[in-house]
Structure 1
Amino acid sequence: MSSRSRACDTCHLRKTRCVREDGKERCVLCTFHDLNCTFARRPTPRRHQQRQRRAHGHGHRQQQEAEENLLTPVQTFDAVQAQSHQTQEFEVPDRQQVSPVLSQAETSTTASHPNEQVRISTPPAAAYPSILKDTLGLDPTTHAEYVGSTDYRDPILLDLRCSDSVRRINDRTLFLIHPDEHTTSEARRIADVDSVEAAVHPVGHILVDLYFRFVHPSFPILHKDVFIAKHQISHRHFAPSLLTAVYLLALDWQLHDSLLASGGIQRRPDAAALERLAEATLEEDMRRPKLEWEIGLRRRLGWALYMQDLWAAFVYGRPLLLHNDDWDVRPCSSSDFPEYAKEEEDSATTTTTTTTTGSVPASTGWLLFLRHIELSHILREIMCKYYTTAATRRDGSLDNMGVVAAVDLAKPIIARLRQWQATLPDELSFTASASQPRRPLCASASLHLAYHAVIIALYRALVRLLTPGDPTPPSLHAAVRTAARDKVQAAVELLGSMQPEHTAAFWGSAASHQVAMIGGFAGLLWATAETAEEMAWCAARVEDLKWALKVRGAGAPFARQALRLLEREIGGLTVDYMKGPGVLDEREWVMEQDHASVR
């Protein structure tokens, strides 16, 4: 076998694919770690040759048995689960009892069951499914630190340091590679991931299947085929925080699995234990970040983080952590979604396609993800123009421009939102027809809810500017409030028309606050209404919204959470404030407080 057709020594030891760019003497992994790309190690001998060597004598029997153990493929995770039925519990080492001298070789043979030794460590490269040969591995004992342009450690000086810890990616990007804090970091990781698996044993593979049926199509961050292939080999291939997140999200769809729904297992997944492990392991992962190699995964993860930061800042009223001036991630394309390309290949070779109940096509999930990114850009523009401190403070931009100019500033954004909605593909349309008894899940409902939340965010800022006494033209005042009521009506109708295939799909963490924002905006219109009729209309819309959430809350966690937010912060709205001068003064006080907060 030539050196060009087999893995170099570094990739062979790490059991990763050896990727070498055209014209380069070193592979990608050796270039990143600044190592020599050598081929001194002999190729892995075949198994029948090992047996022949062991037959020559007994003088080196112990050494040969050790070599055989290293070369024996590990049991698949399904086989491990089948053996585990012979025992009552899935025992794992405690997080506080990991030996500080436990080596990586020892952890690879740690018993996960009390009566047997089960190897669930990293297998030889030959034992991997072919899909895993297209991925690059990570160093389990080091982590990278990004050196920013304003860091006290100047990149030019770091370039002069003769050290293996300095890694320059290009002329603007430099990393420092540090060893993990503790020598037991890998042993601790294995103990943690075993604890995660113990919390869901023996239904871990079922939860993974549920995750990729219901969550992943609407939130396509992970590489589905790679994750499933690794999980079939061993749960120890994952960071504990990642595996915990997958299991926790999948628990919301337990009723969609016959075994979990029927209660046919003795031990149900321990959600409380998973939540505790998620908090503990995520904190440790943040101290030792492991950067993924695959650029598509990094790009998907980057844009997911971008949207999460934006919506979290908006619904909680907090400053943004990520700003466009420091954001240089390229837009996602179809090449960043491996399942999309695979689906196109499958559709080209088959004339008919079938959709599993509860699943969403990969192409639909890809479009959904991209449209969420586009909508996030519009929301960021609204936040920067109407909600930042520079805009809302006294003598800020909104105070200086006045109501008329602020409304004119909103017109291009409104046109942009209309264009965004008009260009939605048919796959992302919202249909509320109940003619068919059984339909696949419609994951686009969350996108339409986010769209209404963005519109309401814009009109809420405009309504806050319509303070009594301002020289606002009456026609403009009436037009803004009429349009605002129309937006509330449309949003409430959206929630009221959702069918089970909508509510049973995946909803992000911001969904409940988006719904509460609709009710909160109706409450703002109620508090600033000038007639009893308008107050009654606003109160009725809040009641309609709460009713829509009540009848859907049993099967939709986001609806239950949104209802709790509405009941706790808004409650019931009535027209009693129009009765009697004493209560009318209280209403005026509420209005004054709201306007004062804007000023």
Structure 2
Amino acid sequence: MNFMPVENSPPNHFPRVTNAQTTKSKSRRPCDPCRRRKSRCEISESGPPCVLCQFHDQECTFNENPQPRKRRAVAISEGSEPIGTIRGQLPLVNDHGISTAASTSPQEIAARIRQDPPIDDYANLRGPSLLKKTLGLQTNRHSRFVGSTSEYERLLLALEPLQSIAGVDSLVGHPILRKVDDTDPTIFVLSPDAGTLNSHNDIPDLDAIEMAVAPHGSALIRLFFRIVHPSFPILHKKVFLEKYERTHREFSPPLLAAVYLLALNWWSYSSELALQLKPNVSHLEGLAMKSFSNIVHRPKLSTIQAGLLLLQRPEGNNWALTCQLVGLGQDMGLQLDCTNWHIPDWERGLRKRLAWAIFMQDKWGSLIHGRPSHVTPTDWDVQPLTEDDFPENAADEDDEDGSTEVEKGRIMFCYMVELTQILAQILSTFYTLKAERDFASRTQEGVRSLLEAAKPLQLTLRQWYANMPSALKMQDIAPRKLSSVGYLHLGYYAVEMTLHRRIIRSLSPSDGPEIRAICRQAAQSRLTSAFAFVQSLRPEHLQSFWYSSSTYNFVLIGSFISLLWVTSPDREESVKYRAHLDEYRWIIRLSSKSADFLERALISLDLTSSTLMKAVPDDNVPSSAANGHQSRIGNETRYGADAGRSQNSRSVPNGSNSPVAYLGQGISETLLGDDGLAEHSWFSAVDESNFDGGYSTHGAALPGQPDMT
């Protein structure tokens, strides 16, 4: 690779240009491995090993003499604007917003990054490469799935010798056709990137992104694969590193920017970066979003990866971008079963992981924003994930303090997919326009029909938790490792509350006092468990990667408290729930000192629940709730703390097979066996004494846990 080695300097200050005739000292010239790789050799002030040798765990030596070569001037891509002035993006700014470009020449800027041209065609690469025969990551072509109603007639395509057509058309730069299986006519159109809208901006955009973090690109990539990737494995590590070792110009611009952006959240977790000046995040975000809009019309798998990672930013959860990704994924054929396709094995696994990542983003986005889902069961043929779909294993894990466990991340990703499938069923059963209209038309029947629909979903949730391996329990934390299992458990509470939120909303005066009491007590039990979970979070959880829906899921707990408050049957209970919300806000405020995203959760909680509740006096709650939800008819129908404590002694009139009986079963009926639920006995819906077992080392109650009864 052709670049000028420069001294290690802070990211927002350009290095001095050294005279070409000056003899470089041993500490300034590249090491032997970097010289052989033709890679940039970055050495910290403390001395060798360099970043790449440390990354590859090899000896960093300076024994070989440099090979004589002709020096050439750094060239700017033909047809591009000068790097220093590309669309006003490239002047670097420090964290105080001060530009450094005024006193810097384009030659000095270009010297900070590599200038090697990207590979034209991976098929022409010498030696082994994972990228040969790839479908979705071609460097200069993008692919689109040929649908059954497209302008191409499938029966006609079945008669054409596609390989020979591809050989001819590829010579003249026309679109080519590629058949990827032998049984079904699954065909893609591969079109050249050249000549498409904004395609000439890719190299300038990549250079701008690389310069925004230079000279720390390699360290940030390592940080990303240490902390983020194990918990959200939507990249292929070896493919990414293979491309970066050649040049940063092989990437999709927003993908490179997204990797850098997420890694910057853990800047202090790198011994190489902690004492350096951090790059300007806002500047990099602007480059990422602008470059994403430049490539969205010529999608590749890297486009999907970029969008998914951008959605994981602290403030990146955007429904419009989620909808775009669903459409782009359909363009790429990610909704199809790729098991028997003629593509590399690693790409089959990558396509499946990306497909399920889009599925999760769509369903959780639908929950967060209250919007219709765009992924439907009738157009979804992706097979379940298996261990073979994940290329990394424990041997690829980084031993440095603060890293994330690879094996745990793989299992957690699969369990999150399964949990999202349950969420999808709940959303389609209770929260679509048709479902809400159907339940509204049956209000005279009371909540019983809704409970019948909820029962199998609650049982599925119970079984999901019962099957969870011990490695995903909250207490399982390896020494000096971060653990992202918190977002999985939080997601579980969110799904539970989404189900019970619908039930509590549907209670009305037409429902008997016993049904109302059991339903409310089941909801109170979920709330108690959620409190115990939030209180159990440790720094190893809070400092790790959290999935994009996590901020909302923390807020949802507060929304659930406000629902129980507004439907309180009397003033005593409403006062208790107001106090519970204050207590929850305090817990989140304390935890936010260890996790920035909880600051946003706290702000959202104040906007959506706390402020609105404070505007309504407690005295008004029972009367207003009686209008559409709970009614208080004398002391007999009161279902606050007293009703909850006496529920075990009551008989359920409709038999043990009724949905009401299911919700109200007590622990004395021995629902729980050796299936892992003994420490999470919220399915009893009555006895809350064991709720803390899953979060306490010895099963004792957590200190300061509020009483929800």
Change in CA separation of 1:478 and 1:220 when aligned onto 2, cut-off 3 Å: same
What's the offset of the Cα at 1:338?
Answer: 0.7
2:38 pairs, out of 71, 75, 87, with 75
Cα distance in 1 for residues equivalent to 2:626 and 2:556: 18
Change in CA separation of 1:128 and 1:224 when aligned onto 2, cut-off 3 Å: farther
Residue deviations 1:434-493 (CA, integer Å, cap 9, x gap): xx9x642121111000000000000000001102x22x1211110110110111121122
TM-score by length of 2: 0.62
Change in CA separation of 1:235 and 1:401 when aligned onto 2, cut-off 3 Å: farther
- 1:565 maps onto 2:604 in alignment: yes
Cα distance in 1 for residues equivalent to 2:520 and 2:112: 71
- 1:195 maps onto 2:208 in alignment: yes
Cα distance in 2 for residues equivalent to 1:476 and 1:249: 48
Gaps of 5+ in 1: 1-71, 84-89, 99-109, 348-352
Residue deviations 1:339-373 (CA, integer Å, cap 9, x gap): 12xx3xx49xxxxx984322222211110000001
Aligned to 1:92: 83
Aligned to 1:47: none
What's the offset of the Cα at 1:593?
Answer: 7.7
Cα distance in 1 for residues equivalent to 2:229 and 2:398: 18
2:178 pairs, out of 157, 167, 171, with 167
Change in CA separation of 1:459 and 1:252 when aligned onto 2, cut-off 3 Å: same
Cα distance in 2 for residues equivalent to 1:76 and 1:135: 26
Give the secondary-structure state (helix, strand or coil) at the position aligned to 1:338: coil
What's the offset of the Cα at 1:328?
Answer: 0.7
Aligned to 1:65: none
Cα distance in 2 for residues equivalent to 1:395 and 1:404: 11
- 1:455 maps onto 2:502 in alignment: no
Aligned to 1:421: 465
Aligned to 1:312: 365
Aligned to 1:206: 219
Stretch deviating more after TM superposition (512-521 or 203-212): 203-212
1:577 pairs, out of 617, 630, 634, with 617
Give the secondary-structure state (helix, strand or coil) at the position aligned to 2:235: coil
Change in CA separation of 1:119 and 1:193 when aligned onto 2, cut-off 3 Å: closer
Change in CA separation of 1:571 and 1:133 when aligned onto 2, cut-off 3 Å: closer
Counterparts of 1:467-478 in structure 2, within 5 Å, are: 467=508, 469-470=509-510, 472-478=511-517
Aligned to 1:120: 116
Q: Report if aligned partners of 1:536, 1:575 keep a CA contact under 8 Å in 2.
A: no
Cα distance in 2 for residues equivalent to 1:554 and 1:530: 36
The residue type equivalent to 2:365 in the other structure is A
Change in CA separation of 1:136 and 1:145 when aligned onto 2, cut-off 3 Å: closer
Aligned to 1:282: 292
Cα distance in 2 for residues equivalent to 1:142 and 1:133: 13
- 1:541 maps onto 2:580 in alignment: yes
Cα distance in 2 for residues equivalent to 1:73 and 1:136: 27
Give the secondary-structure state (helix, strand or coil) at the position aligned to 2:189: strand
The residue type equivalent to 1:215 in the other structure is V
The residue type equivalent to 1:139 in the other structure is Q
Counterparts of 1:506-521 in structure 2, within 5 Å, are: 506-521=545-560
Cα distance in 1 for residues equivalent to 2:159 and 2:563: 61
Stretch deviating more after TM superposition (400-409 or 198-207): 400-409
Counterparts of 1:361-380 in structure 2, within 5 Å, are: 361-380=405-424
Aligned to 1:154: 153
Aligned to 2:682: none
Q: Report if aligned partners of 1:214, 1:506 keep a CA contact under 8 Å in 2.
A: yes
The residue type equivalent to 1:188 in the other structure is N
Aligned to 2:244: 231
Cα distance in 2 for residues equivalent to 1:144 and 1:375: 31
Q: Report if aligned partners of 1:432, 1:498 keep a CA contact under 8 Å in 2.
A: no
Aligned to 2:67: none
The residue type equivalent to 1:382 in the other structure is I
Higher share in helix: 1
Give the secondary-structure state (helix, strand or coil) at the position aligned to 1:217: coil
TM-score by length of 1: 0.73
What's the offset of the Cα at 1:128?
Answer: 8.3
Cα distance in 2 for residues equivalent to 1:80 and 1:147: 49
1:486 pairs, out of 525, 532, 551, with 525
Give the secondary-structure state (helix, strand or coil) at the position aligned to 1:414: helix
Cα distance in 2 for residues equivalent to 1:511 and 1:281: 27
- Please, what is the CA RMSD of the aligned residues? 3.6
Cα distance in 2 for residues equivalent to 1:494 and 1:79: 44
Aligned to 1:273: 283
The residue type equivalent to 1:230 in the other structure is K
Change in CA separation of 1:131 and 1:114 when aligned onto 2, cut-off 3 Å: closer
Give the secondary-structure state (helix, strand or coil) at the position aligned to 2:144: strand
What's the offset of the Cα at 1:78?
Answer: 3.3
Cα distance in 2 for residues equivalent to 1:255 and 1:245: 18
Change in CA separation of 1:396 and 1:156 when aligned onto 2, cut-off 3 Å: farther
1:332 pairs, out of 368, 373, 385, with 385
Residue deviations 1:163-193 (CA, integer Å, cap 9, x gap): 5433333424232233336269664211111
Cα distance in 1 for residues equivalent to 2:617 and 2:349: 56
Aligned to 1:43: none
Change in CA separation of 1:126 and 1:116 when aligned onto 2, cut-off 3 Å: farther
Q: Report if aligned partners of 1:390, 1:396 keep a CA contact under 8 Å in 2.
A: no
Cα distance in 2 for residues equivalent to 1:421 and 1:176: 43
Q: Report if aligned partners of 2:501, 2:560 keep a CA contact under 8 Å in 1.
A: yes
- 1:323 maps onto 2:376 in alignment: yes
1:446 pairs, out of 483, 487, 491, with 487
What's the offset of the Cα at 1:552?
Answer: 1.7
Q: Report if aligned partners of 1:78, 1:232 keep a CA contact under 8 Å in 2.
A: no
Q: Report if aligned partners of 1:492, 1:544 keep a CA contact under 8 Å in 2.
A: no
Aligned residues: 485
Gaps of 5+ in 2: 1-34, 45-49, 52-75, 77-81, 90-105, 167-175, 303-342, 631-709
Give the secondary-structure state (helix, strand or coil) at the position aligned to 2:228: helix
Aligned to 1:29: none
Cα distance in 1 for residues equivalent to 2:365 and 2:475: 28
Residue deviations 1:203-251 (CA, integer Å, cap 9, x gap): 1122112211111111011112332343233222211111111111111
The residue type equivalent to 2:262 in the other structure is L
Aligned to 1:107: none
What's the offset of the Cα at 1:145?
Answer: 2.2
Cα distance in 2 for residues equivalent to 1:94 and 1:244: 19
Counterparts of 1:50-69 in structure 2, within 5 Å, are: none
The residue type equivalent to 2:293 in the other structure is E
What's the offset of the Cα at 1:514?
Answer: 0.7
Change in CA separation of 1:481 and 1:246 when aligned onto 2, cut-off 3 Å: same
- 1:244 maps onto 2:244 in alignment: no
